[in-house]
Amino acid sequence: MKLYGYWRSSAAYRVRIALNLKQLSFENLPVHLVKNGGEQHSDSYKALNPAQLVPTLVDGDLSLNQSLAIIDYLDEMYPQPALLPEDTAAKAWVRALALDIACDIHPLNNLRVLQYLTGPLALTEQQKLAWIAHWLSTGFTALEQRLAQSAGQYCFGDSVTLADICLVPQVYNAQRFALDLTPYPHIRAVYHNCLQLAAFALAAPEQQPDAQ
């Protein structure tokens, strides 16, 4: 398998964690999102992924984008360890937590959104940081309340799930932007517990070959 990603991409970070949890070997192919105007806009990469986003997973003849779709594919192809509970209601709860992060929190702080804020919309750096803090705080406040209902060691009890795979990269981003995490004890505890696992530690942005 080949994974096209960027060391600090939250979505690529999620897929790296999943691959590591499944103990799957993969070739890590960096796509620098900033250099040369963004390598994701190159003709060769656009042919692979017309959305011009990372990650893209290539497995044989299959070329797949969207981190959650990739993780779902990996979970079906390589069922152990399972990333979703067996119980239908529990599975839906975990998926909802993951989507809270991947669909409602992450996109508002994605690189291309931030570039548009400070580019065509001409926001100052201070205004951009205020935007980031507002949407992270809004999302984390709701997520903290949900984790109060379901968290054990991890987001859902004491087993690692898709929700944890999504949470860790988002907390990493929040720390990058100096968000005060004091109001979110459940989020902080889950993040700490996940980082004790090799699959998460090895997927960390600083551990990637293109980290700089």
pLDDT digits (tens, 9 = 90+) for 8-36: 999 999 999 999 999 999 999 999 898 88
Could you tell me the pTM of the whole model? 0.95
81 pLDDT band (50/70/90 cuts)? very high
Q: What does the mean pLDDT of the chain come to?
A: 96
- Do β-strands 27-30 and 56-59 pair in parallel, antiparallel, or remain unpaired? unpaired
C-alpha gyration radius of the chain: 17
Q: Which CATH architecture has domain 88-199?
A: Up-down Bundle (1.20)
Six-digit token string for 92: 């839906």
The DSSP code sequence of 42-100 is SHHHHHH-TT--S-EEEETTEEEESHHHHHHHHHHHS-SS-SS-SSHHHHHHHHHHHHI
- Write down the CATH number for the domain with range 2-81: 3.40.30.10
Q: Where are the domains of the chain?
A: 2-81, 88-199
Region class of 211: left (phi > 0), else alpha (psi between -120 and 50), else beta: beta
Per-residue pLDDT at 52: 94
Quick one: which of 16, 190, 34, 189 has its CA closest to 112?
34
CA distance 83 to 75: 7
Strand partners, 29: 4
